[in-house]
């Protein structure tokens, strides 16, 4: 087989890249080791920046997003038992964010793909970045896919990242993890609540008007068995409590998981004819909601570079935006999470910083601009 671009991984990055290339008349084949059902059921949260929504609409994947996505014009920072609204749209010239699950984006993009573009159950076993060529196993047999270039969109544990020799790796582990739950209960809020509490961070998000997504800061060593549903709701009520009568709705929890938090960047994001995108190149802690949006920015830039002959500048340009997102995610994480090893001085500094963010228009604008996403020009 031969194609112009071999794409490894059928997550949002790989699928979207294939559609962006198609719109430019460039052939691509997507190789995915899992089956279609797994890809369409892999649960991930989804907070979409304005730019991400615009890209999905432009490639024809915006119909259901526009019907079912929940557009937000602000968010709330909550600490000291009080809520403080950050008016995102007002501070950023009208930009919004949209709640729409990553799982649904994958379904929409798969449904748009023509027959044969995505090869599910095709496990890539070797990447030759110089030829270039991809070797994959399908139905127990080895096959090769010759191409002009390779896009590695197969995540942190995929083969693409390992195929970049002598890469420089930057990494940070955090002493926090998130216990995330998906609950069959209408949300208790119309906009996301980011809450700092002495017992730990909490986040009240939502999946739909009928389903809530909530998170608790826990220890990375915690196990799910230590968190029965009753304890989760009790802890959420404690951390999210306010003095104005606000109440938290509870209900059946359908899913729960504990996710450690880390920052990771590998550079460069290119080796010969292999180009990395998304989690294959970088991971951010989820506090800033940048992971999916960075992946979309990567493949949008990569598609343009492939079509316009700008591949030599791809890695340098993308890494500038990646590091901006890494810093914002680090800042949000350290601003809102509770370091139980910190002394009273450090805790008072953290509260002072939170108070500054909600009382200063300049500080709130910095948060808002980063949260909704920059129109990045690559310079």
Q: Is the pLDDT confidence value at 43 over 80?
A: no
The DSSP line for 260-285 is: EEEEEEEE-SEETTEEE-GGGTEE--
pLDDT of residue 379: 31
Is the Cβ–Cβ distance between 313 and 267 less than 8 Å?
no
The catalytically annotated residue of 194, 196, 204, 282 is 194
Average pLDDT for 126-151: 97
pLDDT of residue 121: 97
How confident is the prediction for the chain on average, in pLDDT? 95
Query: What is the pLDDT confidence band of residue 377, given thresholds at 50, 70 and 90?
Result: very low
Q: Is the pLDDT confidence value at 375 over 80?
A: no
Q: Is the pLDDT confidence value at 110 over 80?
A: yes
The catalytically annotated residue of 19, 95, 290, 337 is 290
| Alpha helix stretches (DSSP H) within the chain | 12-23, 36-41, 50-58, 63-68, 88-91, 102-112, 159-162, 229-240, 291-308, 314-336, 344-359, 361-372
Using a pLDDT cut of 90, give the percent of the chain over it: 94
For residue 365, give the 3-state DSSP assignment: helix
Q: For this structure, is 376 an active site residue?
A: no
The catalytically annotated residue of 95, 286, 314, 337 is 286
8, HSE (Cβ side, Cα atoms, 13 Å): 36
pLDDT of residue 180: 96
Q: Is the pLDDT confidence value at 221 over 90?
A: yes
Q: For this structure, is 286 an active site residue?
A: yes
Q: Is the pLDDT confidence value at 209 over 60?
A: yes
The catalytically annotated residue of 174, 176, 215, 371 is 371
CATH number, domain 5-73+97-170+262-340: 3.50.50.60
Average pLDDT for 109-135: 96
Provide the terminal-to-terminal Cα distance of the chain, rounded to the nearest Å. 37
pLDDT of residue 378: 38
Cα separation, 260 vs 283, whole angstroms: 12
Average the pLDDT over each of 38-47, 70-79, 168-177, 256-265 and give the range with the smallest value: 38-47
pLDDT of residue 26: 97
Q: For this structure, is 72 an active site residue?
A: yes
The catalytically annotated residue of 12, 19, 72, 204 is 72
Residues 6+ apart with CB under 8 A from 346: 339
pLDDT in tens, 53-83: 999 999 999 999 999 999 999 999 999 999 9
Cα separation, 105 vs 209, whole angstroms: 18
pLDDT of residue 282: 97
């Amino acid at each position: 087989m031969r194609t112009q671009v071999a794409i490894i991984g059928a997550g949002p990055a790989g699928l979207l890249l294939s559609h962006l290339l198609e719109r430019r008349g460039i052939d691509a084949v997507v190789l995915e080791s899992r089956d279609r059902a797994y890809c369409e059921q892999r649960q991930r949260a989804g907070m979409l920046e304005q730019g991400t929504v615009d890209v999905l609409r432009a490639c024809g994947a915006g119909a259901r997003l526009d019907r079912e996505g929940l557009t937000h014009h602000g968010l709330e920072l909550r600490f000291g038992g009080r809520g403080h609204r950050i008016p995102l749209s007002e501070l950023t010239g009208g930009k919004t964010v949209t709640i729409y699950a990553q799982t649904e984006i994958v379904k929409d993009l798969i449904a748009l793909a023509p027959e044969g573009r995505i090869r599910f159950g095709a496990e890539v076993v070797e990447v030759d970045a110089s030829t270039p060529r991809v070797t994959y196993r399908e139905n127990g047999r080895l096959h090769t896919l010759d191409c002009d270039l390779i896009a590695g969109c197969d995540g942190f544990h995929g083969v693409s990242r390992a195929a970049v020799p002598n890469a420089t790796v930057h990494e940070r582990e955090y002493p926090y993890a998130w216990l995330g739950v998906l609950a069959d209960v209408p949300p208790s809020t119309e906009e996301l609540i980011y809450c700092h509490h002495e017992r730990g961070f909490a986040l009240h998000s939502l999946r739909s008007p009928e389903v809530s997504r909530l998170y608790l800061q826990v220890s990375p060593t915690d196990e799910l068995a230590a968190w029965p549903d009753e304890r989760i709701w009790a802890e959420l009520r404690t951390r999210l409590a306010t003095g104005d009568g606000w109440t938290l709705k509870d209900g059946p929890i359908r899913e729960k998981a504990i996710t450690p938090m880390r920052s990771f960047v590998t550079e460069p994001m290119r080796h010969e004819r292999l180009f990395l995108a998304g989690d294959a190149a970088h991971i951010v802690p989820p506090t800033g909601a940048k992971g999916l949006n960075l992946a979309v920015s990567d493949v949008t830039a990569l598609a343009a570079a492939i079509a316009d002959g700008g591949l030599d500048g791809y890695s340098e340009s993308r890494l500038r935006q990646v590091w901006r997102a890494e810093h914002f995610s680090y800042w949000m994480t350290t601003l809102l999470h509770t370091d139980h090893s910190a002394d009273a001085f450090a805790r008072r500094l953290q509260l002072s910083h939170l108070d500054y963010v909600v009382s200063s228009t300049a500080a709130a604008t910095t948060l808002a601009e980063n949260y909704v996403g920059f129109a990045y020009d690559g310079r």
